[in-house]
Amino acid sequence: MSDFPIILGIESSCDDTGAAIIQDSKILSNIVADQKVHQSYGGVVPELASRAHQQNIVPVVNEALKQAKVELDQLSAIAFTRGPGLLGSLLVGNSFAKSLSMTLDIPLIEVNHMQAHILAHFIDDANESAPEFPFLCLTVSGGHTQIVKVKDYFEMEVLGETLDDAAGEAFDKSGKILGLDYPSGPIIDKLAKDGNPNRFEFPEPKVEGLNFSFSGLKTSILYFIQKEVKSNPNFIEENLNDLCASIQKKIIDILLNKLIQAAEDNQIEHLAIAGGVSANSELRKRLKAIEIEKGWKVYIPKFEYTTDNAAMIAMVGQLKFMNDQFTDIDSKSTSKYTI
């Protein structure tokens, strides 16, 4: 093994327990234990999430070390998600990382989860080439929707964000109205492939500047479905693929209209996407089309680095390790953490 530092990354901000090992920007292992326990509740139950993290964290870290063929005494530092996220879930990763760093007597590095989604692009095999600064990143997840101007690794400016629901929530809540399981984003993505995106038209929210709003869309979908189901109780089943395709199209229209506006306003032609919703196949396809049509450069990360994962935490850990940006043992988890 080379002399490059070996960093263990730990992610526990929501409902996925992750551990990953990085060396020289290459991911040696990336383990995620997702929590099926929330499916029947239609959303993440915070108390159940923190309990499941407690059960998962030791086996997940052990598996990450095993797959990477790394022994504990070879680790150079431990990076963990400080926030934003669910406080109880964050605390599990935070306490585990602190105890391990004290036991091994190696540095501790705190990581901002939203920065990590963006900086995942710098993992060696995340995409064909790393983005050039400055670039704009559309970060779309279950908890956040942001357009971020990335001037350097740790110099970021939020140009716009959601005023209410996140893009992932718009997928998940629409899916709930249609009777789909949680998380509905990937299910809608799949069903939409066989649907007509122009069959049903939903209103575009009127929000000034580069901010987003998705709660009006959710309400209009709810009222529309309630009205149709009254006259035809089988309306959802008979039109499921078209409903998914039309809802997906509207969410993507809202996201891309603002991203294009941000690129034009800021004269930045390098665009990236990040976060769970960036796994969406139609969003990826439409971005590729924009790249060709406008002659811009678009960075789309590998699937395993889109939804919550520890590889992105380990990547930030490595960047901070190189800059001697270490964390005190009294670092506190925080549910809100701006970038």
Q: Smallest distance, Å, CB 317 to ligand KG4? A: 18
Applying CB under 6 A, which part among 3-11, 91-99, 229-237, 272-280 lies near ligand KG4? 272-280
When the beta carbons of 187 and 268 are compared against ligand KG4, the nearer one is 187
Question: CB neighbours of 124 closer than 8 A, spacing ≥ 6?
Answer: 24, 25, 26, 27
Closer residue to Zn ion in complex, CB, 78/277: 277
In whole angstroms, the minimum distance from the beta carbon of 146 to ligand KG4 comes to 12
5 binds, among ligand KG4, Zn ion, none (CB under 5 to 8 A by kind): none
Nearer to ligand KG4, 171 or 321 (CB): 171
Three-state secondary-structure class, residue 227: helix
Q: Which of residues 143-172 bind ligand KG4 (CB under 6 A)?
A: 143, 168, 171-172
Q: What are phi and psi of 328, to 5 degrees?
A: -75, 160
Cβ of residue 200: shortest distance to ligand KG4, in angstroms?
Answer: 18
Tokens of 188: 């809608």
**According to CB under 6 A, which one of 83, 186, 195, 301 is a site residue for ligand KG4?**
186
Sign of the dihedral defined by the CA atoms of residues 64, 30, 137, 319, in that order = positive
Q: Which residue sits closest to ligand KG4, CB atoms considered?
A: 276
Closest distance between ligand KG4 and the C-beta of residue 276, in Å? 2
The secondary structure element, H or E, covering residue 138 is: strand 135-140
Distance of alpha carbon 278 from alpha carbon 299, whole angstroms: 11
Task: Please identify which residue in 276, 300, 313, 314 interacts with ligand KG4, judged by CB under 6 A.
Answer: 276
Based on the number of CB atoms within 10 Å of its own CB, is 213 exposed (0-12), middle (13-18) or buried (19 or more)? middle
Q: Which residue type is seen at 207?
A: V
Using the rule CB under 6 A, is 11 a contact of ligand KG4? no
Phi, psi dihedral angles at 109 (to 5 degrees): -135, 125
- Coil, helix or strand for 81? strand
Paired strand residues for 8: 21, 78
Q: In the set 12, 141, 145, 333, which binds ligand KG4 (CB under 6 A)?
A: 141
Q: Which stretch binds ligand KG4 (CB under 6 A): 180-188, 209-217, 223-231, 329-337?
A: 180-188
Which residues of this protein are in contact with Zn ion, per CB under 5 A?
141, 308
User: How many Cβ atoms from other residues are within 10 Å of residue 338's Cβ?
Assistant: 10
Structural contact between residues 188 and 247, judged by C-beta atoms closer than 8 angstroms = yes
Binding residues (CB under 6 A) for ligand KG4: these are 14, 141-143, 168, 171-172, 183-186, 189, 275-277, 279-280, 307-308
